[in-house]
Structure 1
Amino acid sequence: MSHVIRTARFLPLFAAATASLALFPLPSRADAPAVKDVLTTYANIAQAGYEDSLQAARQLKTSVDALINAPTEETLAAARASWVAARVPYMQTEAFRFGNPIVDDWEGKVNSWPLDEGLIDYVAESYGSENPENEFYAADVIANTSLKIAGKTVDTTKITPELIRETLHEAGGVEANVASGYHAVEFLLWGQDLNGTEAGAGKRPATDYDLKACTGGNCDRRAAYLSTVTDMLVEDLEWMAKQWAPNGDARKFATENEKQGLTAVFTGLGSLSYGELAGERMKLGLMIHDPEEEHDCFSDNTHASHYGDALGIRNVYLASYTRTDGSVVSGPSVSDLVKAKSPETDKQVRAALDKTLAKMTALVDRAKKVEAYDQMIGLDNAEGNATVQAAIDALIAQAKEFERAIAALDLKDIKFEGSDSLDNPDKVEEAK
């Protein structure tokens, strides 16, 4: 797998226009909610989203155990379905990233991508055996009971959480050495997608876990790795759900200081809209027409993940989240704050959110009826490219409306994460 070098950039937010504006007071009109109530609702939605993600991960673990205990195409299909279901609540939590350091410091454990899958397991010959930028590119820990890391031989006989967390994950300081999280589980359930921009996802057989009729070799170690990494996902989500519970550190960060909390809210909304989703997850892959740059590349579930991110952004701005069980968590919103200051600005933000969700819905519909996301971004696919670009354009426009909302609230010094694919496309072309 090849990787384009990414550099973090930031989108300035009406710096000149807001330079002389004071942060507070925020809206004093009778119809404006208290900021503390808005931030409490924000934290309640985060807690609910992570709790739903935890529950879905526990169901995934149950399905994984069933696969390992009785590896059949049916139990494999059930485990894959559980993985897809687990992505639904989790992707809606990504709007809580970027502005809250507790979430950002943790997120790399659970959703890092893209990954050099040769670190974990066997890969096709076309993958290659080495990469000058990553000495662990094809380390294949499942097949090897020892690895040489930083000149030292490391015993990998036992596949443990400690081995994965402390030794393998981002080994050598390389971000592509993703050893844990959703995408490690995804790879172990689907295997490589070797179809390029042609139809089809990964086709790992259930017999890769069958101790009596083992394919791929090392079925016992593969099962141990899958079981361990799924346990770790549950453990990590348990931890994060607690951070948003009453007295949790993430909740405290978001609610105990009004300026800090609102900054976290809008940093998350704008950064996910602009640099992360529009840029790194969508525009980059479209520019270089590379299926390896799609987010859920083994399962061909990328369309659903992108939709979940867009929905999560909307949830936060409007302060309404529909839980997995159908119940709704809602309350005073940043939309209410913006509306109290500038009804027209709030109306524009809402319209942008509606347009983004419509373009994402069109992308999902195309994925279900016409072709997968990796085919959409393929070279010489004008219609597919246009569908993806329309969603990118809507996300960029949405980020600009968030800028206007920030200005309406007299907030300052908020920066959105950027992406070379949007800010410096020539760099991307040079790195290809």
Structure 2
Amino acid sequence: MRRNILALAAAGLLAVAAPASAAPGDGAVRAVLTNYADIAQAMYSDSLARAKELHAAVQALTDAPSAATMQAAKQAWLAARVPYQQTEVYRFGNAIVDEWEGKVNAWPLDEGLIDYVDSSYGTDSDENPLYTANVIANPKITHGGEEINASAITKELLAEKLQEIGGVEANVATGYHAIEFLLWGQDLNGTGPGAGKRPWTDYAKGSACTNGNCDRRAQYLTVATDLLVDDLTEMAGNWAADGEARKAVLEAGPQGGLSVILTGLGSLSYGELAGERMKLGLLLNDPEEEHDCFSDNTHNSHYYDIVGMRAVYFGSYTRIDGKSVVNGRSLHDLVRASDPALASEIKQALDATQAAALAMKQRAEAVEAYDQMLASGNEAGAATLQAVIDALSAQTRSFERAVALLELQPIAFEGSDSLDNPAAVFQ
């Protein structure tokens, strides 16, 4: 979700001028920018490949619903998240990506727009008149005095008519999280153990169908997955040899291009991941603030965001086959050439973040889920998450020093009230 961008000064992260001798040569910078674009193309291509596998699994589920095909579709969704989350470092600074991102990864969402919900969800919202519209159950819905024909669940209906309808960001009709909800259903466990438990019979044929409208639910899931493939095809193309996103980075020049890279690294580290996705939920002890809230996959989403940041900074990405590597000149190389001590500092900061994130991932897989770590009074869980937040904040300060070293204009990294003004969260 898009958040307000705050100046670095608000978080004490304002870059200062660096010595003129620190600026790298144009040829070295262009090699870094080219590798940055090559990694983006590989990441989005891998995301597309996994989305196509998800599409095939969804087709198998809707063609022959069973516990086995439902589980296979869930596993395909989880696998699809791994390469996609690594791309999030490209959001901030790349306008083409940030303007597109809401179609595929918008969150949180008011799931009552899409399908049936538990009574504990409530029936209305002051902020969202379509809070419980339930498009799957209703072939016609009304918004703003106008009737919307939803008799056929189509790409146009989801992407053009329902996505963020009424300017409400929680009206998420497309993307990974809409698909996640349709596979898992609501997680009604709060900060207790367990994820969503949607039965496979929600897609069953005929009288075996549970919760009604199984044919329309299957149609919605299929169309949402079709759209995900379309959207990722578009973004992979944007980073191809003649793609618009690649051109924008290369044509930004040395200062502009390096600023794009560091904006992505600093903004994802600080305001987005440490702040909005982690600290906010910890302050509120609220499982509704976890990123993959239906599937209890949040620990992996956060972990692979961090893996993606490392790939971009060090200029090396291992593809989903586990063997192929896209590797080239990196931001780390530029920093090391000008200031080896700072390069060592940044590497240590990134290593510390990865170690803290790995501890979070291991705890989630062996001890308790991410949403359980958010529970009030869970000191060990809170400490595990806070360690990641602290490490992300520390690496952001190191990125700020790289901005100065490379003689870039001060960058307004994304901020977050949860980090910069926690009292505001409770107002």
Does 1:253 pair with 2:248?
yes
Q: Does 1:160 align with 2:160?
A: no
Q: Given the alignment of the two structures, is residue 315 of structure 1 paired with residue 311 of structure 2, yes or no?
A: yes
Deviation at 1:33, TM superposition (A): 6.5
Distance (whole Å) between structure 2 residues aligned to residue 33 and residue 343 of structure 1: 20
Distance in 2, Cα, partners of 1:385 & 1:160 = 43
AA of the residue aligned to 1:254: V
In 2, are the aligned partners of 1:168 and 1:177 still within 8 Å (CA)? yes
| Larger CA deviation: 248-257 vs 236-245 | 248-257
CA gap 1:315/1:219 in 2 versus in 1, 3 angstroms: same
Counterpart among 209, 216, 219 of residue 211 in structure 2? 216
1:33–1:336 contact (8 Å) kept in structure 2: no
Shift of residue 21 of structure 1? 6.3
Residue 405 of structure 1 corresponds to which residue in structure 2? 402
Alignment partner of 1:65 is 2:59: yes
Q: Say whether the 8 Å CA contact 2:50–2:80 is kept in structure 1.
A: yes
SS of match in other structure, 1:263: helix
Aligned partner of 1:84 among 78, 81, 104: 78
Under a length normalisation based on structure 1, what TM-score does the superposition of the two structures give?
Answer: 0.95
Aligned partners of 1:221 and 1:10: how far apart in 2? 46
Equivalent residue letter for 1:350: K
Q: Is it true that 1:380 corresponds to 2:377 in the alignment?
A: yes
Give SS of 2:218's match. Answer: helix
Q: Identify the residue that residue 108 of structure 1 maps to in structure 2.
A: 102
Whether the 8 Å contact between 2:202 and 2:209 is mirrored in structure 1 is yes
Classify 1:16/1:59 alpha carbon distance in 2 versus 1 (closer, same or farther; 3 Å): closer
Tell me the CA shift for residue 413 of structure 1: 2.9
Q: Please say if 1:198 is aligned against 2:208.
A: no
Aligned-residue offset at 1:395: 0.2
Q: Is the 8 A contact 1:14 1:407 kept in 2?
A: no
Is contact 1:281–1:294 with CA below 8 Å preserved after alignment? yes
> Does 2:227 align with 1:232?
yes
State whether structure 2 residue 356 is matched by structure 1 residue 362.
no
Q: Which amino acid aligns with 1:339?
A: R
Q: Tell me, which stretches of 5 or more residues in structure 1 are unaligned?
A: none
The secondary structure found in structure 2 opposite 1:36 is helix
Q: What is the CA deviation profile of residues 284-335 of structure 1, one whole-angstrom value per residue up to 9, with x for unaligned ones?
A: 0000000010000000000000000001001000000000012100100010
1:415 to partner: Cα distance: 1.2
The alignment of Structure 1 onto Structure 2 pairs a total of residues equal to: 422
* Distance (Å, rounded) in 1 between the aligned partners of 2:3 and 2:257: 28
Note if contact 2:164-2:173 (Cα within 8 Å) is conserved in structure 1: yes
Q: What SS does structure 2 have at the residue aligned with 1:93?
A: helix
Question: Given residue 203 of structure 1, which amino acid in structure 2 is its aligned partner?
Answer: K
Deviation at 1:9, TM superposition (A): 2.5
TM-score (norm. length: structure 2): 0.96
CA distance in 1, matches of 2:245, 2:3: 27
Further displaced range: 115-124 or 143-152: 143-152
Which has the higher mean CA deviation after the structures are superposed, 212-221 or 49-58?
A: 212-221
Contact 2:38 2:239 in 1 (8 A): yes
SS of the residue 2:142 aligns to: strand
Mean Cα deviation higher: 121-130 or 206-215: 206-215
